[in-house]
Amino acid sequence: MSETASSIYARLCAAATAVGLACRGGFHPQDSDGVPYLDDEPARTVVLLGFTGREQWSSFAGSPEYGDGAPHPLDRWSQRVVDELAGQFGARALYPFTGPPWWPFQRWAQRAERLYASPLGVLLHADYGLWHAYRGAIVLSETVDVPPLREWSSPCESCREPPCVGACPAGALIGHRFEAEICRAHVMSEHGAACRDRGCLARYACPFAAEHRYDATQATFHLGAFIARRR
């Protein structure tokens, strides 16, 4: 009996969970999505993979890449495990950090899940708030059933005095725009010790989905990676 469209997604998610990643929904691409072909086959399904809260961190923290001292350990770990998943499913792996070309992961994320923009530039998730990330995508030539978009309303719309904006010591949240270079300069300065030691203070100030906040080790790792990528 041939595998059904719904069982392929379930099997892919189980395999992702086994290596320390979460399925982050999927979509059936249109030409405007800019998803590349698989050899000569058009892409018919994209499944995003990533982190949700603190749930997957231990898998990376226990990996060889985490402690080997070489640059970009999380990116290298992500490529290793997602490449292996792609091989299992006869698919193509794509990443948000290997450009050019730079794949439009934020746009793809909003096709896969109902997400909203936040003042920090991080997309807001219904369950995990600001505490989630995308590590790669699996591109399949089959049309696979993926979960429907979940309807919900963003709490940012009713937040009159956003605590995230007031908590940013760098003043890097200007209007509805996050100024990455202002943030980076502050964090690297003598005044940025609190951010370096604890992670992004503005992100921690958001009360939504606070139960999924990263612990200090995970938060400072991501902040360090943010700084290193812009040097």
Residue 13 shares a structural domain with residue 106: yes
Residue 20 shares a structural domain with residue 134: yes
Domain boundary among 140, 169, 204: 140
Residue 83 shares a structural domain with residue 133: yes
Give the bridge partners for 173, in sequence order.
178
pLDDT value of residue 1: 37
Establish if 149 belongs to a structural domain: no
Establish if 145 belongs to a structural domain: no
**Which three-class secondary structure string do you get for 54-97?**
CCCHHHHHCCHHHHCCCCCHHHHHHHHHHHHHHHHCCCEEECCC
* Mean pLDDT of the chain, nearest integer: 93
Residues 115-167 have pLDDT tens digits of 999 999 899 999 999 999 999 999 999 999 999 999 999 999 999 899 999 99
Residue 94 shares a structural domain with residue 164: no
The total number of structural domains in the chain stands at 2
CA 5 – CA 166 distance, rounded (Å): 47
Domain boundary among 115, 140, 165: 140
CA 6 – CA 220 distance, rounded (Å): 38
Mean pLDDT along residues 22-36 = 97
CA 64 – CA 168 distance, rounded (Å): 34
Residue 32 shares a structural domain with residue 96: yes
Establish if 105 belongs to a structural domain: yes
Residue 180: give the domain boundaries: 155-229
Residue 110 shares a structural domain with residue 33: yes
pLDDT value of residue 5: 65
Residue 136 shares a structural domain with residue 182: no
Mean pLDDT along residues 6-32 = 96
Residue 70 shares a structural domain with residue 125: yes
Task: Say what angle helices 5-19 and 73-88 make with each other, to 10 degrees.
Answer: 150
Domain boundary among 83, 109, 140: 140
pTM, to two decimals: 0.93
